[in-house]
Amino acid sequence: MELKGKCAIVTGGTRGIGKAVALALAREGCDVAINFRKSDDEAKEVVSEIKKLGRKALAVKADVSSFKDAQNMFEEVKKAFGHIEILVSNAGINKDGVIWKMTEEQFDTVITTNLKGCFNYNKLAATYFKDKRYGKIVNISSINGIRGKFGQTNYAASKGGEIALTKSLAKEVGKFNINVNCVCPGMVRTEMAASIPQEFLDKACDETVLGRIAEADDIANVVVFLCSDKSRHITGGIIKVDGGQYI
């Protein structure tokens, strides 16, 4: 197993891409901690699934937009597992609308959750990994953070910010043997996508060159690779996992 003996924090790990990542890491031998804000039943279910794979698991109540909550989560994970080697910053929300209809609350909430949440966990992970002189950080962004998207000025701005954060942090921590990379999915078949009208899903599918929408495991498989030492010479990477949707 590629990640035996490692411990990972996965934010937004109760559903969708985050859940798929948490389980994929566990299958490769990794102990996994996830956060939850409200969905404690879903968190318990993921913890149970991880334990069935023979790994340790922990769910911590934490709002990613709160630096204090993030600090508390890191301390709880260190106390429970004794070490952390991997961070996957995945938690994110969307509140779509064209900018002339978008409220200040819609903009602020998305930026605070997605971008500041990414900063909170990246800051703590980088600080901890720097002292250990080892670590893997993977931020989950979106192709819409590269290309922009109609009705998503807030979401695209937050995801573009995550990409810029990834590149800058990679430059800062490379000398400490820390890899920082960013995965940019296209449309993925998740609970969030289930609320999207079928016509928009069909359009996203038509945009791909492979003629299909990704499953969450398609993203998780790439994340596992970036968390392993097989990717030791990749950092600052912005990796699209979109079936060719961007091109």
Which residues are known catalytic residues?
Answer: 155
User: How many C-beta neighbours within 10 Å does residue 186 have?
Assistant: 23
What values do phi and psi take at 36, rounded to 5? Answer: -145, 155
Residue 35, strand partner residues: 60
Decide: 179 and 232 in contact? Cβ < 8 Å: yes
Are the beta carbons of 182 and 139 closer than 8 angstroms?
yes
C-alpha pair distances (Å), 110 with each of 103, 104, 120, 195: 11, 10, 15, 18
Question: Measured over all CA atoms, what is the biggest interatomic distance in the chain, rounded to whole angstroms?
Answer: 51
Extract the runs of DSSP E, i.e. beta strands, from the chain: 7-10, 31-36, 57-61, 86-89, 135-140, 178-185, 188-189, 214-215, 238-241
Looking at residue 139, the DSSP 8-state letter turns out to be E
List beta partners, residue 215. 189
The secondary structure of 193-234 as a DSSP string is GGGS-HHHHHHHHHHSSSSSPEEHHHHHHHHHHHHSGGGTT-
